[in-house]
Structure 1
Amino acid sequence: MVSRKITIGILVNLCRFVVALTFIFSGYVKAIDPLGTLYKLQDYLEVVHLSAYVSDYITLAVSVLLGGIEFCLGVLLLFAIRRRLVTRLLLFFMAVMTPLTLWLALDNPIEDCGCFGDAVKLTNWETFGKNVVLLAATVLLFMRPLAMPRFISRSNQWIVVNYTMLFILVSSSMSLYTLPPFDFRPYHIGANIRKGMEIPEGAKQPQFETTFILEKDGQRREFTLDDYPDSTWTFIDSKTVQTEAGYVPPIHDFSIQTTDGSEDITDSVLNHKGYSFVLVSPHFETASDANFGEIDAIYEYSLDHGYPFYALTASTDEAINHWRDITGAEYNFFLTDETTLKTVIRSNPGLLLLKDGTVIGKWSHNDLPGLDYKSPRLEDTEYGRMPEHSVTSKISQILLWYILPLMLLTFADRTWKFSQWIRKKEHSNRIYKLLKRKKNMRKKIVAGNWKMNMNLQDGIALAKELNETLTNEKPNCGVIICTPFIHLASIAQFLNQDVIGLGAENCADKEKGAYTGEVSAEMVKSTGAQYVILGHSERRGYYAETPEILKEKVLLALKNGLKVIFCIGESLEEREAGKQNEVVKAELEGSVFNLTEEEFKNIIIAYEPIWAIGTGKTATADQAEEIHAYIRSIIAEKYGQAVADDTTILYGGSCKASNAPELFAKPDIDGGLIGGASLKAADFMGIINAWK
Structure 2
Amino acid sequence: MKKTIVNLCRLVLATVFILSGFVKAVDPIGTQYKIEDYLQAMNLGAWLPDAGALILSVVISATEFCIGIFLLFAIRRRLCSHLAVIIMALMTPLTLWLALTNPISDCGCFGDAVVLTNWQTFWKNVVLLAAAIVVMKWPTKMVRFVSESNQWIVVNYSLIFTLVISAWSLYDRPQFDFRPYHVGTDLRTGWMQMMEGQESPYADFFIERMDNGEDITEEVLNNEGYTFLLVAPYLEQADDSQLDLINQVYEYAQEYDYPFYGLTASGEKAINLWRDLTGADYPFCQTDGTTLKTVIRSNPGLILLKDGVVIQKWSHNLLPNEQELEKPLEESTLGKMPDDTVGKRIVRILLWFVLPLMLLTIADRLWAWTKWIRRHKKLISYINKKEVKMRKKIVAGNWKMNMNLQDGIALAKELNETLKAEKPNCGVVICTPFIHLASIAQFLDQNIIGLGAENCADKEKGAFTGEVSAEMVKSTGAQYVILGHSERREYYKETPEILKEKVLLAQKNDLKVIFCIGESLEEREAGKQNEVVKAELEGSVFNLSEEDFRKIVIAYEPIWAIGTGKTATAEQAEEIHAYIRSIIAEKYGQAVADDTTILYGGSCKASNAPELFAKPDIDGGLIGGASLKAADFKGIIDAFK
Normalised by the length of structure 1, the TM-score is 0.54
1:419 to 2:413 alignment: no
In the alignment, the residues of structure 1 paired with residue 277 and residue 385 of structure 2 have an alpha-carbon distance, to the nearest angstrom, of 85
Match of 1:295 in 2: 246
Larger radius of gyration: 2
- Give the CA RMSD over aligned residues: 2.2
Residues 194 and 203 of structure 2 are in contact (CA less than 8 Å); yes or no, is this contact kept in structure 1? no
Change (3 A) 1:60 1:200: closer
The CA deviation string for residues 354-398 of structure 1, in whole angstroms up to 9 with x for no partner, is: 001110000000111225696111011101011112111111000
1:324 to 2:318 alignment: no
Change (3 A) 1:278 1:200: closer
- Letter paired with 2:16: T
Change (3 A) 1:131 1:412: same
Segment drifting more, 312-321 vs 363-372:
363-372
Displacement of 1:434 after TM fit? 7.6
208, 222, 227: which one pairs with 1:276? 227
Residues 249 and 325 of structure 2 are in contact (CA less than 8 Å); yes or no, is this contact kept in structure 1? no
265, 286, 289: which one pairs with 2:216? 265
Structure 1 residue ranges, 4+ long, deviating more than 4 angstroms after superposition: 371-374, 432-435, 578-581
Change (3 A) 1:274 1:580: farther
Displacement of 1:47 after TM fit? 0.9
Match of 1:239 in 2: none
9, 22, 29: which one pairs with 1:35? 29
Match of 1:475 in 2: none
245, 257, 263: which one pairs with 1:306? 257
183, 186, 193: which one pairs with 1:192? 186
In the alignment, the residues of structure 2 paired with residue 38 and residue 20 of structure 1 have an alpha-carbon distance, to the nearest angstrom, of 23
44, 62, 66: which one pairs with 1:72? 66
Q: How many aligned positions are there?
A: 390
1:10 to 2:4 alignment: yes
Match of 1:360 in 2: 311
Q: What aligned pairs does 1:148-227 form with structure 2 within 5 A after superposition?
A: 148-199=142-193
1:127 to 2:115 alignment: no
Secondary structure at 1:352 match in 2: strand
The CA deviation string for residues 55-90 of structure 1, in whole angstroms up to 9 with x for no partner, is: 101000000111111010000000000000000000
99, 103, 108: which one pairs with 2:97? 103
In the alignment, the residues of structure 1 paired with residue 88 and residue 189 of structure 2 have an alpha-carbon distance, to the nearest angstrom, of 40
The CA deviation string for residues 127-153 of structure 1, in whole angstroms up to 9 with x for no partner, is: 111111111111111111111110000
Match of 1:250 in 2: 201
In the alignment, the residues of structure 1 paired with residue 270 and residue 422 of structure 2 have an alpha-carbon distance, to the nearest angstrom, of 85
- Letter paired with 2:249: I
Residues 301 and 372 of structure 1 are in contact (CA less than 8 Å); yes or no, is this contact kept in structure 2? no
The CA deviation string for residues 553-609 of structure 1, in whole angstroms up to 9 with x for no partner, is: xxxxxxxxxxxxxxxxxxxxxxxxx9999xxxxxxxxxxxxxxxxxxxxxxxxxxxx
In the alignment, the residues of structure 2 paired with residue 259 and residue 299 of structure 1 have an alpha-carbon distance, to the nearest angstrom, of 18
In the alignment, the residues of structure 2 paired with residue 321 and residue 374 of structure 1 have an alpha-carbon distance, to the nearest angstrom, of 27
- Letter paired with 2:120: E
In the alignment, the residues of structure 2 paired with residue 380 and residue 579 of structure 1 have an alpha-carbon distance, to the nearest angstrom, of 96
Residues 70 and 80 of structure 2 are in contact (CA less than 8 Å); yes or no, is this contact kept in structure 1? yes
- Letter paired with 1:107: T
Structure 2 unaligned regions, length at least 5: 387-419, 424-641
Secondary structure at 2:237 match in 1: coil
Match of 2:500 in 1: none
Match of 1:440 in 2: none
Secondary structure at 1:171 match in 2: helix
Normalised by the length of structure 2, the TM-score is 0.59
26, 40, 45: which one pairs with 1:51? 45
Secondary structure at 1:199 match in 2: helix
In the alignment, the residues of structure 2 paired with residue 373 and residue 362 of structure 1 have an alpha-carbon distance, to the nearest angstrom, of 15
Match of 1:338 in 2: 289
Segment drifting more, 14-23 vs 189-198:
189-198
- Letter paired with 1:273: E
- Letter paired with 1:406: L
Secondary structure at 2:89 match in 1: helix
In the alignment, the residues of structure 1 paired with residue 42 and residue 10 of structure 2 have an alpha-carbon distance, to the nearest angstrom, of 34
1:25 to 2:13 alignment: no
Residues 24 and 74 of structure 1 are in contact (CA less than 8 Å); yes or no, is this contact kept in structure 2? yes
Match of 1:382 in 2: 333
Structure 1 unaligned regions, length at least 5: 1-6, 206-246, 436-577, 582-692
Secondary structure at 1:285 match in 2: helix
Q: What aligned pairs does 1:618-637 form with structure 2 within 5 A after superposition?
A: none
Match of 2:302 in 1: 351
Change (3 A) 1:145 1:36: same
Match of 2:608 in 1: none
In the alignment, the residues of structure 2 paired with residue 271 and residue 200 of structure 1 have an alpha-carbon distance, to the nearest angstrom, of 15
Displacement of 1:424 after TM fit? 2.3
118, 121, 127: which one pairs with 2:112? 118
Change (3 A) 1:371 1:154: same
Displacement of 1:259 after TM fit? 1.8
Secondary structure at 2:235 match in 1: coil
- Letter paired with 1:264: D
- Letter paired with 2:131: A
Residues 24 and 111 of structure 2 are in contact (CA less than 8 Å); yes or no, is this contact kept in structure 1? yes
Structure with more of its chain in helix, by fraction: 2
Change (3 A) 1:373 1:192: closer
Secondary structure at 2:78 match in 1: helix
In the alignment, the residues of structure 1 paired with residue 82 and residue 13 of structure 2 have an alpha-carbon distance, to the nearest angstrom, of 13
In the alignment, the residues of structure 1 paired with residue 61 and residue 212 of structure 2 have an alpha-carbon distance, to the nearest angstrom, of 39
In the alignment, the residues of structure 1 paired with residue 154 and residue 384 of structure 2 have an alpha-carbon distance, to the nearest angstrom, of 36
- Letter paired with 2:199: V
In the alignment, the residues of structure 2 paired with residue 432 and residue 320 of structure 1 have an alpha-carbon distance, to the nearest angstrom, of 87
Change (3 A) 1:412 1:40: same
Match of 1:675 in 2: none
- Letter paired with 1:140: V
Match of 1:526 in 2: none
- Letter paired with 1:307: Y
Displacement of 1:248 after TM fit? 2.5
Displacement of 1:28 after TM fit? 0.2
In the alignment, the residues of structure 2 paired with residue 392 and residue 125 of structure 1 have an alpha-carbon distance, to the nearest angstrom, of 32
In the alignment, the residues of structure 2 paired with residue 359 and residue 430 of structure 1 have an alpha-carbon distance, to the nearest angstrom, of 70
Displacement of 1:269 after TM fit? 0.9
Residues 28 and 57 of structure 2 are in contact (CA less than 8 Å); yes or no, is this contact kept in structure 1? yes
Change (3 A) 1:305 1:199: closer
In the alignment, the residues of structure 2 paired with residue 360 and residue 62 of structure 1 have an alpha-carbon distance, to the nearest angstrom, of 32
1:146 to 2:122 alignment: no
- Letter paired with 1:408: L
In the alignment, the residues of structure 1 paired with residue 422 and residue 347 of structure 2 have an alpha-carbon distance, to the nearest angstrom, of 65
Displacement of 1:426 after TM fit? 3.6
Change (3 A) 1:579 1:329: farther
Secondary structure at 1:92 match in 2: helix
Q: What aligned pairs does 1:556-567 form with structure 2 within 5 A after superposition?
A: none
Percent of residue pairs bearing the same amino acid type: 54
Displacement of 1:433 after TM fit? 11
In the alignment, the residues of structure 1 paired with residue 112 and residue 341 of structure 2 have an alpha-carbon distance, to the nearest angstrom, of 18
Residues 32 and 172 of structure 1 are in contact (CA less than 8 Å); yes or no, is this contact kept in structure 2? yes
- Letter paired with 1:330: D
The CA deviation string for residues 429-488 of structure 1, in whole angstroms up to 9 with x for no partner, is: 4637989xxxxxxxxxxxxxxxxxxxxxxxxxxxxxxxxxxxxxxxxxxxxxxxxxxxxx
In the alignment, the residues of structure 1 paired with residue 421 and residue 316 of structure 2 have an alpha-carbon distance, to the nearest angstrom, of 77
Residues 300 and 373 of structure 1 are in contact (CA less than 8 Å); yes or no, is this contact kept in structure 2? no
- Letter paired with 2:87: F
Residues 26 and 117 of structure 1 are in contact (CA less than 8 Å); yes or no, is this contact kept in structure 2? yes
Displacement of 1:168 after TM fit? 0.3
In the alignment, the residues of structure 2 paired with residue 369 and residue 270 of structure 1 have an alpha-carbon distance, to the nearest angstrom, of 22
